[in-house]
């Protein structure tokens, strides 16, 4: 059910659409041009009859929250009547929407006394629960294993486990609140039906995979590289490669199901194996398309088409696209060619005023410059747009003793090899997970990093201490392509899993520093500098375009500064005895 309310946002009346976590409702809201407000926690449109007509068409079962005061505030004397001030006769239901009190940004509805938690629905491995705010209850829930707070949808996600159900219901004092549908039962109970694989007529590189409605099985298939769901065909589209079929066969064996192969002869081909670059680009483009309303589609498509033609990375497409989408939303999706330079500067100033980080501000400047320069061919914006001043922050670095303590906490040999290689070679986590055996040059004791940041290749060191371990690991795993293969055959390890390994090791070692896999890269550079390695060599190993980026490590190493004496220490022995110093002062 969608609740429709009248809200006041950004100095204008809006129509607010309130509903819980529902992907279908989100997509329908985007089709009519609704925009998400993080402040009001709702989707909203301009307050007019045309938008209310669209809401009635898209959400026929909506509910309008009425109020005793069904009139709009009268316009100020001498002001013009507009859609923000005039009542809308064509949409009588719209005038029943509540309005906030004067001077308020929004009205928070207080929780009624004795309000109880409500189970909303099941989402994959989680139950979604809405809990009225009570500080001790909420703190206890967040401290419970298997429970986390979803800030986007203002609800708690509870892992579907018997222990989680028991603890959450005890904290809330509502036994029987959550259904007895546990993930363990789904894992042990075989789903009914079969996995059917058929040819996809529209694209030979893909095949249609039809599954029974079993959450755990669906989650496995969704995680395969290149997996995409087709609403038209009511099935998943997967790359038509032998490795993908092997993974599906493994799923069918694990679940005790039958795999029915209806593909023509020689339909599967190794050339159709999922390409990592292609998969990441497709995901970035699909996410942008999903977030972009219809009125902004033309401008975002022009931006992404230009970036694809210029062979830019998926990260750049994602970051530039999101920044451009933010800019378009704040300008009501006006044509960027009609927006003046003064309006662009005002937009940047407004974001900085809201506390936006300089890095995000510079990303927005970069995206706007790219759009105006390469899409609209207006080079003047490259010079005239101001840049937020960056904050010079020093990265966290582990000492050699802390690195030893960290490695000792990892028991899995594969995980140990990954973390030690990240530190020993100084490569980025994205470069680590995409390493192939062809990149490991054992005879030369080097690693060939292909297509690193900025699409640059470079050579880095292969630590001698890992040579024997890597060769033994290769003979045990027998992976054909990737050094660190993921959960599914022929696919690389995920970056998020590496971060989780690092996070658990940091907690187990008792380190108070916030360390990530990238911290190992900073530690690698700092320890090399402390050992006397020339800064230019460190720059080449890290793959920095500018020596200025590498010089930050000179601020982290104490080797050069520990021999410098403060001028106060040099004159302390000659200070006049009349100068008051603490009694226990010693030269």
| Catalytic residue list contains 9 | no
Contact 428, 449 (CB under 8 A): no
Catalytic one of 318, 415, 522, 544: 544
Q: Any idea of the CA torsion for 218, 219, 225, 226, to the nearest 10 degrees?
A: 50
- Residue-wise burial string across 474-484, b where 16 or more C-beta atoms lie within 10 A, e elsewhere: eeeeebebbbb
d(CA 385, CA 348): 9
| Catalytic residue list contains 553 | yes
d(CA 318, CA 66): 41
Q: Residue 236: beta bridge partners?
A: 209, 229
Query: How many Cα atoms occupy the beta-carbon half-sphere of 411 within 13 Å?
Result: 2
Q: DSSP labels for 74-135?
A: PPPTTPPP-TTTS--TT-TTGGGS--PPTT-S--PPPPPTT---EEEEEETTEEEEE----H
d(CA 183, CA 194): 20
User: What is the DSSP secondary structure assignment for residue 577, as one 8-state letter?
Assistant: T
Q: 444 Cβ partners below 8 Å, 6+ apart? A: none
| Catalytic residue list contains 518 | yes
| Catalytic residue list contains 428 | yes
d(CA 346, CA 366): 16
| Catalytic residue list contains 544 | yes
Catalytic one of 190, 453, 474, 503: 453
Catalytic one of 99, 167, 214, 521: 521
Contact 178, 165 (CB under 8 A): yes
| Catalytic residue list contains 228 | no
Mapped onto helix, strand or coil, the DSSP state of residue 459 is strand
d(CA 263, CA 242): 12
- Residue-wise burial string across 187-213, b where 16 or more C-beta atoms lie within 10 A, e elsewhere: eeeebeeebbbbebeeeeebbbbbbee
Q: DSSP labels for 125-192?
A: TEEEEE----HHHHHHHHTSTTEEEETTTTEEEEES-HHHHHHHHHHHT-TT-S-S--HHHHHHSPPS
Catalytic one of 44, 99, 214, 428: 428
- CA triplet 379, 380, 385: central angle to 5 degrees? 115
d(CA 422, CA 408): 15
- CA triplet 462, 466, 471: central angle to 5 degrees? 100
**H or E, element range at 290:** helix 276-291
d(CA 449, CA 439): 7
| Residue 242 region by backbone torsions, left for phi larger than 0, else alpha for psi between -120 and 50, else beta | alpha
Contact 130, 118 (CB under 8 A): yes
Among all residues, which ones are annotated catalytic? 428, 453, 518, 521, 544, 553
């Amino acid at each position: 059910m969608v609740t429709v309310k009248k809200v006041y946002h950004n100095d204008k009346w809006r129509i607010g659409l309130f509903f819980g976590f529902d992907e279908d409702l989100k997509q329908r809201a985007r089709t009519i041009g609704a925009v998400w407000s993080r402040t009001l926690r709702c989707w909203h449109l301009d307050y007019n009859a045309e938008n209310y007509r669209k809401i009635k068409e898209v959400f026929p079962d909506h509910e309008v929250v009425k109020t005793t005061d069904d009139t709009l505030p009268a316009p100020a004397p001498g002001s013009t009547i507009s859609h923000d001030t005039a009542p809308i006769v064509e949409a009588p239901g719209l005038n029943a929407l509540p309005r906030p009190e004067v001077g308020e940004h929004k009205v928070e509805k207080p929780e009624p006394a004795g309000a109880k938690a409500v189970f909303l629905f099941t989402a994959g491995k989680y139950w979604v629960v809405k809990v009225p705010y009570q500080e001790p209850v909420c703190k206890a829930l967040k401290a419970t294993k298997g429970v986390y707070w979803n800030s986007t949808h203002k609800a708690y996600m509870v892992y579907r486990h018997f222990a989680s159900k028991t603890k959450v219901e005890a904290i809330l004092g509502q036994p029987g609140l959550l259904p007895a549908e546990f993930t363990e039962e789904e894992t042990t109970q075989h789903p009914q039906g079969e996995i059917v694989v058929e040819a996809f007529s529209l694209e030979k590189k893909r095949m249609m995979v039809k599954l029974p409605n079993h959450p755990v099985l669906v989650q496995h298939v969704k995680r395969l590289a290149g997996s995409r769901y087709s609403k038209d065909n009511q099935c998943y589209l997967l790359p038509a490669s032998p490795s993908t079929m092997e993974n599906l066969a493994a799923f069918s064996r694990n679940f005790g199901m039958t795999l029915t192969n209806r593909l023509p002869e020689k339909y599967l081909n190794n050339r159709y194996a999922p390409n990592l670059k292609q998969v990441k680009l497709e995901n970035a483009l699909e996410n942008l398309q999903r977030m972009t309303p219809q009125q902004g589609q033309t401008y975002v498509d022009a931006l992404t088409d230009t970036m694809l033609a210029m062979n830019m990375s998926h990260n750049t497409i994602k970051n530039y696209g999101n920044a451009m989408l933010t800019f378009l939303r704040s300008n009501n999706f006006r044509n960027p060619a009609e927006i003046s330079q003064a309006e662009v500067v005002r937009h940047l100033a407004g974001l900085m005023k809201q506390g936006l980080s300089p890095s995000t501000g510079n990303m927005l400047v970069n995206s706007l410059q790219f759009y105006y320069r390469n899409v609209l061919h207006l080079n003047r914006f490259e010079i005239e747009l101001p840049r937020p001043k960056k904050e010079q922050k020093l990265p966290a670095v582990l000492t050699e003793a802390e690195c030893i303590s960290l490695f000792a906490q990892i028991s899995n040999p594969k995980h140990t090899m990954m973390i030690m290689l990240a530190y020993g070679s100084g490569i980025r986590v994205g470069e680590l997970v995409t390493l192939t055996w062809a990149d490991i040059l054992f005879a030369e004791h080097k690693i060939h990093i292909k297509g690193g940041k900025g699409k640059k290749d470079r050579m880095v060191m292969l630590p001698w201490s890992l040579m024997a371990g890597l060769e033994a690991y290769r003979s045990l795993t027998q992976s054909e392509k990737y050094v660190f293969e993921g959960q599914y055959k022929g696919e690389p390890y995920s970056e998020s899993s590496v971060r989780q390994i690092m996070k658990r090791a940091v907690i187990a070692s008792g380190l108070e520093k916030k360390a990530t896999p990238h911290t190992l890269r900073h530690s690698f550079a700092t320890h090399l500098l402390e050992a006397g390695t020339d800064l230019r060599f460190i720059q080449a190993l890290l793959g920095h375009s500018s020596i200025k980026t590498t010089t930050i490590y000179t601020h982290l190493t104490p080797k050069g500064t520990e021999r410098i004496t403060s001028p106060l220490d040099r004159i302390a022995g000659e200070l006049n005895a009349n100068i008051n110093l603490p009694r226990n002062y010693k030269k």
